[in-house]
Amino acid sequence: MMQKRKLGNEGLEVSAIGLGCMGMSFSYYPFPQKADAIHLIRKAVEQGVNFFDTAEVYGPYSNEELVGEALEPYKGKVIIATKFGFNIQNGKMAGVNSKPEQIKKAVEGSLKRLKVDVIDLLYQHRVDPKVPIEDVAGTVKDLIKEGKVKYFGLSEAGAHTIRRAHAVQTVSALQSEYSLWTRQHEKEIIPTIKALGIGLVSFSPLGKGFLTGKIDANTKFEAGDFRNHLPRFTEEARKANAALLDVIEKFAQQKNATPAQIALAWVLAQKPWIVPIPGTTKLHRLTENNGAAAIAFTAAELNAIEEASAQIKILGDRYPEMLERATGL
């Protein structure tokens, strides 16, 4: 079975690799048939994954319903993380909202859709500049006291916000983008959460698919795939960023592994309290991703990856500027 990792100091323990479920019904078009998605989630459990990530806004709502149905047979045996923090109007995400009444409303909806009595890990999906983070943390603290939530998390929050929230209600996990090509959090965020004893859940650890080596300058994304709108996925950027794939491929050959496994194993090797949550809709990719948990690097190999990747300047921002703060992805 896959080894476990601790997130935070409140007792939350999860499989070393989780499963990000967003792409099964949101952002990465085309979506699988519901029965296939349920089958994949259940296969993940069989392979030792016990940590599943969803959010109210994925769909909206349909992703939580899918995860709830898929995991109902494993009630109490798996950890489901979900998120609040957006207005949803006419079936669309409509700006951030972390007012206390909105959080409570979101939690009631999530409990029903996930078919659970308590939410294992509840994240604020994005910081709401209009609501003091102390009010957000205080509301979650009340929900924990009421037995509706077990653990509190933040997503893509800054160091100052994390400290302020943690002072009101212990934060167990920060979910933020972290991978071989998205490393800005190493400057301030990772040292902050290390000092506070907060775990890191790394979303997009495979660079939204790019680090698998299966996407090149000629790849065409389907209409509805949000990568069509990302600066890092323009044809020019993909051509330039292929240099990082060459580095990953070299290590994949040395370790008799795939590029995806190297990218995930690198994330796992950074800290014992980092848990990547790659998403997939394909069974063979699920098995491949989970295989990364068995790959270990020597200090010399990690140094070599560091030196080689440091030479490469990644072209393109993560998101268009207007989306950088508002995006829920």
Q: Convert the pLDDT of each residue in 74-104 to its tens digit.
A: 999 999 999 999 999 999 999 999 999 999 9
- pLDDT band at 29; cut points 50, 70, 90: confident
Give me the pLDDT at residue 327, please.
Answer: 47
- pLDDT band at 316; cut points 50, 70, 90: very high
Question: Looking at residue 315, what DSSP letter applies?
Answer: P
User: What 3-state class would DSSP assign to 199?
Assistant: strand
Q: How far apart are the first and last CA of the chain?
A: 30
58 is catalytic: yes
Give the integer Cα–Cα distance in Å for 67 and 69. Answer: 5
Pairing of strands 12-15, 4-7: antiparallel
Given a cut of 80, whether residue 147 has pLDDT beyond it is yes
- pLDDT band at 322; cut points 50, 70, 90: low
Segment 290-295 mean pLDDT: 98
Question: Looking at residue 182, what DSSP letter applies?
Answer: B
Give the integer Cα–Cα distance in Å for 102 and 81. Answer: 18
Residue range 105-125, pLDDT digits in tens = 999 999 999 999 999 999 999
State the CB neighbour count (10 A cutoff) for residue 231.
15
Residue range 35-87, pLDDT digits in tens = 999 999 999 999 999 999 999 999 999 999 999 999 999 999 999 999 999 99
Given a cut of 50, whether residue 208 has pLDDT beyond it is yes
For the record, the structure tokens of 284 come out as 């063979």
Give me the pLDDT at residue 289, please.
Answer: 98
Given a cut of 80, whether residue 323 has pLDDT beyond it is no
Amino acid at 281: T
Give me the pLDDT at residue 282, please.
Answer: 97
Q: Where are the domains of the chain?
A: 4-326
Give me the pLDDT at residue 321, please.
Answer: 72
Segment 5-13 mean pLDDT: 98
Give me the pLDDT at residue 320, please.
Answer: 87
Give the integer Cα–Cα distance in Å for 14 and 80. Answer: 10
Q: Which of 28, 29, 58, 74 is catalytic?
A: 58
Given a cut of 50, whether residue 328 has pLDDT beyond it is no
Give me the pLDDT at residue 324, please.
Answer: 56
CATH topology of domain 4-326: TIM Barrel (3.20.20)
- pLDDT band at 272; cut points 50, 70, 90: very high
Give me the pLDDT at residue 219, please.
Answer: 96
State the CB neighbour count (10 A cutoff) for residue 299.
8
Give the integer Cα–Cα distance in Å for 286 and 16. Answer: 14
Specify whether the CB–CB gap between 98 and 84 falls below 8 A. Answer: yes
